[in-house]
Amino acid sequence: MSTHDEDRTASSDSEPVTERALDADHPVVIVGAGPAGLTAAYELTKRDAPCVVLEADDIVGGISRTVERDGWRFDIGGHRFFTKVEPVEQLWHEILPDEDFMMRPRMSRIYYEGKYYDYPLKASNALGNLGIIEAVRCVLSYIWARIRPPKDQTTLEGWIVARFGVRLYEHFFKTYNEKLWGVPVNELPADFAAQRIKNLSLFNAVLNALLPKRNQKDITSLIEEFQYPKFGPGMMWEACTDQVEARGCKVHLQTKVVRIRHEAGRATEVVARDATGAETAYPCSHVVSSMPISSLLRAMDPPVPERVAAAAADLKYRDFLTVALVVPEEYSFPDNWIYVHSREVQVGRIQNFGSWSPYLVKEGRTCLGLEYFVFEGDETWNRPDDELVEQAKRELGILGLVDPARVEAGYVVRMPKAYPFYDQRYKDNVAVLVDWLTHDAANVHPVGRNGMHRYNNQDHSMFTAMLTVENILDGTDHDVWEVNVEEEYHEEGGASRTVGPTLRTTGTGRDAPVIRREALGPDHPINRAPAPADREA
């Protein structure tokens, strides 16, 4: 935690105001109706604590929503219900009855030059698909990398080349990561690789393939199956909304937080604007916020000091859009999604919604979700829906997966701020924001992925909310910044973890890569100043 700011507002130098009692006139105001926000509402209402939820969108669930168009249901990004956090597991089954869950097989593959490769990558499968000549070249490339490893292994590129050789790196790692993050792979840090690439060298992978009884415990595997609500992840949050409202917590949709008034170290009320433009002030005892932490700080009234505002403005995001195409069932595949490493297309992943649940699609057809990683406001994001549908159809044809003429319908779903963007300044920026909240708005509690600018899964976002409610109601002192993803979620253990606004190097963490932004140039979308709309909460 950074030191107390010299440029604090004058009000914070006075004695803190008396903590307001948690009552119907001063409820907990929850900002955001995604997994974290609705979990907070669920836990509060279970204990008869008054609360209200304010959601800017017209649908609950956040990125874990289920989007429905013409009877087709889309899971944005794909949400496997799998957790090692027992309270979260129990909560899922409190909200939805067991019969609403399905057990689904986990399967993901890489699609590259017309062939499917196992994911995580297996040497025997990869070298077999590449063919004998290219396989020999890959092995020789690997041997050369072992003899003359790259001098700089601090980048993702250098780290992978040292362990797999340059040819396998170019086949299986370079293209997808550049699609995902929108930056050159040689600008991604090496520590990111340990969280995304199976714990093996090419030599150990080949040995394991030839001698399967040896070294099996050295290579961890991902989960083989997972739970899934039959109508998609939004089913969970729609049911949760019904239940918290039945207990007296109103969930206001299309209600955007525009100001959070504070004085003497505490937030006193939240001002939100509804779809008609009318503003309403909600007095509060506490604020639980899953809105982007940058927007949260920009909403403070009086405004935060200039240094804090600059830190908020410097936090960036990677955005996401899905083009869902309805196709005959004959074009189905068993994978939950396929990672597309082909250079000739822009699409990064393709979901088969029918493989997630047959209840998402209609008889005789399936729906494929082509996922594009973008920056909000860039050329792809701004492209008209009909052009995006045509592009997606064309790319399915280029990949040889679907005859474009057989596509029956198409839909576009945009999801801003899907991924917190981890550059070399984000930890310091988050530390500045958390420090200011601790001293100047101590009853404001960030939770969830965007609320904490943490690349958490759904279950860990929920757990931050559960611990926060205990802190509010029981006076506990849980550090929600300790919540992160365990080793079991990764192909390799022992990676570094971000804990709170500082960095520790214990355990693992679902960190996105730390990216050196100055290397991207001033015209790169991530380095542009926020648009006026972004400056508002």
Element containing residue 334 per DSSP (H, E): none
Could you give the residue ranges of the DSSP H alpha helices within 148-213? 156-164, 166-172, 174-181, 190-196, 202-210
Query: d(Cα 402, Cα 209) in Å, to the nearest integer?
Result: 33
Query: d(Cα 98, Cα 293) in Å, to the nearest integer?
Result: 35
Beta strand segments in 266-315, E: 266-273, 279-283, 286-289, 300-301
Among 262, 270, 304, residue whose Cα is nearest residue 288: 270
Name the DSSP class of 339: E
**Any domain includes 186:** yes
Beta-carbon-side half-sphere exposure of residue 491 (alpha carbons within 13 Å): 14
Q: Are 238 and 199 in contact (CB under 8 A)?
A: no
Query: d(Cα 474, Cα 48) in Å, to the nearest integer?
Result: 13
What is the number of domains present in the chain? 3
**Any domain includes 323:** yes
Which tokens belong to 100? 């609403």
Which tokens belong to 416? 């801003």
Indicate the residue among 468, 483, 498 that finishes a domain.
483
Please tell me the predicted confidence (pLDDT) of residue 22: 84
Among 340, 337, 405, residue whose Cα is nearest residue 367: 337
Please tell me the predicted confidence (pLDDT) of residue 520: 57
Which tokens belong to 30? 């929850």
Same domain? For 290 and 251 the reply is: yes
* C-alpha torsion sign, points 294, 298, 304, 305: positive
Same domain? For 272 and 348 the reply is: no
Please tell me the predicted confidence (pLDDT) of residue 244: 98
Name the percent of the chain in helix, strand, coil, to the closest 5. Answer: 40, 25, 35
Same domain? For 115 and 212 the reply is: yes
**Which range of residues forms the domain containing residue 336?**
316-421
Element containing residue 113 per DSSP (H, E): none
* Strand, helix or coil for residue 365: strand
Same domain? For 267 and 400 the reply is: no
**Any domain includes 78:** no
| Cα angle 342, 344, 345; round to 5 | 80
| Cα angle 170, 171, 176; round to 5 | 85
Query: d(Cα 377, Cα 372) in Å, to the nearest integer?
Result: 13
- Whole-number Cα distances in Å, 292 to 83, 229, 253, 417: 24, 27, 17, 8
Query: d(Cα 536, Cα 515) in Å, to the nearest integer?
Result: 26
* Strand, helix or coil for residue 115: strand
CATH number, position 294: 3.50.50.60
Query: d(Cα 57, Cα 488) in Å, to the nearest integer?
Result: 33
Same domain? For 296 and 435 the reply is: yes
Same domain? For 188 and 321 the reply is: no
Among 343, 352, 460, 452, residue whose Cα is nearest residue 401: 352
Same domain? For 285 and 336 the reply is: no
Query: d(Cα 262, Cα 516) in Å, to the nearest integer?
Result: 35
Same domain? For 277 and 357 the reply is: no
Q: How far is CA 370 from the centre of its chain?
A: 17
Among 407, 412, 386, residue whose Cα is nearest residue 321: 412
**Any domain includes 59:** yes
**Judging by DSSP bridges, how do beta strands 365-374 and 349-352 pair with one another?**
antiparallel
> Nearest 5°: phi and psi at 522?
-70, -20
Name the DSSP class of 328: E
Which tokens belong to 300? 């403070």
Query: d(Cα 78, Cα 245) in Å, to the nearest integer?
Result: 27
Q: 451-488 as b/e, with b when 16 or more CB fall inside 10 Å?
A: bbbbbbbbbbbbbbbbbbbbebeeeeebebbebbbbee
**Any domain includes 295:** yes
Beta-carbon-side half-sphere exposure of residue 365 (alpha carbons within 13 Å): 17
**Any domain includes 490:** no
Which tokens belong to 451? 């609320």
Same domain? For 294 and 431 the reply is: yes
Q: Are 76 and 322 in contact (CB under 8 A)?
A: yes
Beta strand segments in 248-364, E: 250-252, 256-263, 266-273, 279-283, 286-289, 300-301, 316-328, 337-340, 349-352
Place of tokens 């299309």: 254
**Any domain includes 498:** no
- Whole-number Cα distances in Å, 447 to 145, 420, 477: 44, 14, 15
Residue-wise DSSP of 22-79: -BTTB-EEEE--SHHHHHHHHHHHHTT--EEEE-SSSSSSGGG-EEEETTEEEESS--
**Any domain includes 406:** yes
pTM higher than 0.85, yes or no? Answer: no
Same domain? For 273 and 298 the reply is: yes
Query: d(Cα 395, Cα 402) in Å, to the nearest integer?
Result: 9
Indicate the residue among 456, 483, 510 that finishes a domain.
483
Which tokens belong to 151? 């001098």
CATH number, position 400: 3.90.660.20
Among 343, 336, 258, 335, residue whose Cα is nearest residue 303: 258
| Cα angle 230, 31, 81; round to 5 | 25
The tens-digit pLDDT sequence of the chain (537 residues) is: 444 444 444 344 444 445 667 888 999 999 999 999 999 999 999 999 999 999 999 999 999 999 999 999 999 989 999 888 899 999 999 999 999 999 999 899 999 888 888 887 777 788 889 898 998 998 899 899 999 999 988 787 898 899 889 998 888 888 888 888 888 878 766 655 554 554 445 555 554 444 444 434 343 334 678 999 999 999 999 999 999 999 999 999 999 999 999 999 999 999 999 999 999 999 999 999 999 999 999 999 999 999 999 999 999 888 999 999 999 999 999 999 999 998 899 999 999 999 999 999 999 999 999 999 999 999 999 999 999 999 999 999 999 999 999 999 999 999 999 888 877 788 899 999 999 999 999 999 999 999 999 877 899 999 999 999 999 999 999 999 888 644 333 333 333 333 333 333 333 234 445 555 565 566 666 566 554 444 343
**Judging by DSSP bridges, how do beta strands 101-105 and 337-340 pair with one another?**
unpaired
Same domain? For 144 and 23 the reply is: no
Same domain? For 310 and 440 the reply is: yes
Indicate the residue among 169, 186, 218 that finishes a domain.
218
